[in-house]
Amino acid sequence: MSARPLPSSTPAAQGVDASGVLAFLDALDAAPAIEPHSLMILRHGSLVASGWWAPYTPERPHLLYSISKSFTATAAGLAAAEGLIRLDDPVISYFPEFEADITDPRSRAMLVRHVASMASGHDSDTIFEARKRDSEDLVRGFLQVPPPRDPGTVFAYNQPATFTLSAIVQRASGVSLTEYLRPRLLDPLGIGDVAWLKDRSGRELGFSGLHATTDAVARLGRLYLQGGVWEGERLLPEWWVTEATRAQISNSEVMPGDDWQRGYGFKFWMSRHGYRGDGAFGQFCVVLPEHDAVIATTADTWDMQGLLNLVWEHLLPAFRQAPLTGGEEADAALAERLAGLALSPASGEPAPAERARSWSAEAFTPDGGRCEQLPKLTAVDLAPDGDGWTLTLTEDGHRLPLRLGGAGWTVTEDPVPTAVSGGWTDPDTLVVDVAFLETPHHLAVTCSLKDRTFTARWRTDPLHGLPLRAMGAPRASA
């Protein structure tokens, strides 16, 4: 189904100074370590600013990484409201088949509320140890890792804890997270198609892997801002919203960064201002009750604290107590700026005419093993294609053709959505930037004609270890 548009308004009418939003955009432009992909700002229930940096577009899903956890928590809140799960039930009670295997008293004492709040009693992420103990069932592997502390006494950002919460909801409801959320959350909010990565057993990951639009993130934030009510209908219990968005456990001594030390709720972080869902590399759902505002972003950056700092520095002062008079000029300037957002393509010249035949003569091979981040990428080859080139990456025997056109970005949808830019920096060197459009990630590929080799490097490292052909939202045909 297609999403119903959010109510919209001018910034000034909702007490938002458009010049502050413009200053935020200027600050992003001046921050070389932050690549923004999208921005949505809601105030008093209305969308007052939104923009996507081309080649990213509003309708395209984006890998949200750990904002997935906030959707999982919402499913848990709905399940609790329906009596399917209880926060004070032992986790093991939902998996009776593991009863004989789980003997550690702290594992057996772990409650649903503990895995919901990253307070399982472990002092670090257990994902590798859990997978080592049981490669087929992450819940069983997690419960077999003895917590060194009593559940509820210590915070640890622990992926299997959220996976276990998602598995409890899926076990209690008898359906996948997406199937459970569709009639209870996604459809009522007007959220269209979403896709979730799954584990080997077919369960949706819960802790990561959700692909959804920025609009979906903004709608989730608006629902929580409104205390669980959407268009006059209560979707989430008020008690759940209150509990999920307050500190359930302290994390001030275990996490770096000013906005990661304010406490943790039920899959929401407390911030210096308000609270948020966040995902790796700059996926944010910032909820600001004191300003009656929601800010949703997608991005590609290691500097997540830096991105939040810019939000606090520029956007917070833009929220005023009352509608602004005389803001028409700034509103118009902001609308024009948002409509023209675009990422700069990689620089490069067209193929040197005298070398065109040489460039398409044979495949390029890895440069001395220096493609360690992509160990299965074994060849790159080029072929003329109309007014451009087809760049084909061969990974583990699978070929991924990419279109390299002229100046700007060239978008290819199949077999995975990409945008490619770049060109020749000299007659012997081709440099290409490959944006995997349904993820935060870019792959930089450099080919050398002199020795027929290539190098390939991720700008930010994907966390799911997927092959290139799967670097997008899961599809039914995949």
Which tens digits make up the pLDDT trace of 286-314?
Answer: 999 999 999 999 999 999 999 999 999 99
Kindly tell me if the per-residue pLDDT of 465 is higher than 50.
Answer: yes
Looking at residue 361, what is its pLDDT?
77
**Model confidence pLDDT, tens digit, residues 82-91:** 999 999 999 9
Q: Is the pTM of this model over 0.85?
A: yes
Looking at residue 375, what is its pLDDT?
64
Looking at residue 376, what is its pLDDT?
83
Q: Which residue has the higher pLDDT, 361 or 352?
A: 352
Quick one: pLDDT band at residue 368, thresholds 50, 70, 90?
A: confident
Q: CATH number of the domain at 353-470, please?
A: 2.40.128
Domains of the chain by residue range: 12-82+167-339, 353-470
**Model confidence pLDDT, tens digit, residues 90-124:** 999 999 999 999 999 999 999 999 999 999 999 99
Looking at residue 26, what is its pLDDT?
98
Looking at residue 477, what is its pLDDT?
41
**Model confidence pLDDT, tens digit, residues 191-244:** 999 999 999 889 999 999 999 999 999 999 999 999 999 999 999 999 999 999
Looking at residue 367, what is its pLDDT?
86
Kindly tell me if the per-residue pLDDT of 370 is higher than 70.
Answer: no
Quick one: pLDDT band at residue 373, thresholds 50, 70, 90?
A: low
**Model confidence pLDDT, tens digit, residues 52-70:** 999 999 999 999 999 999 9
Rg of the chain in Å (alpha carbons): 24
**Model confidence pLDDT, tens digit, residues 230-284:** 999 999 999 999 999 999 999 988 878 899 999 999 999 999 999 999 999 999 9
Range with the poorest average pLDDT among 181-195, 313-327, 359-373, 441-455: 359-373
Looking at residue 3, what is its pLDDT?
61
Looking at residue 1, what is its pLDDT?
43
Quick one: pLDDT band at residue 478, thresholds 50, 70, 90?
A: very low
**Model confidence pLDDT, tens digit, residues 126-141:** 999 999 999 999 999 9
Quick one: pLDDT band at residue 476, thresholds 50, 70, 90?
A: low
Q: Which CATH class is domain 12-82+167-339?
A: alpha beta
Percentage of the chain with pLDDT > 70?
A: 97
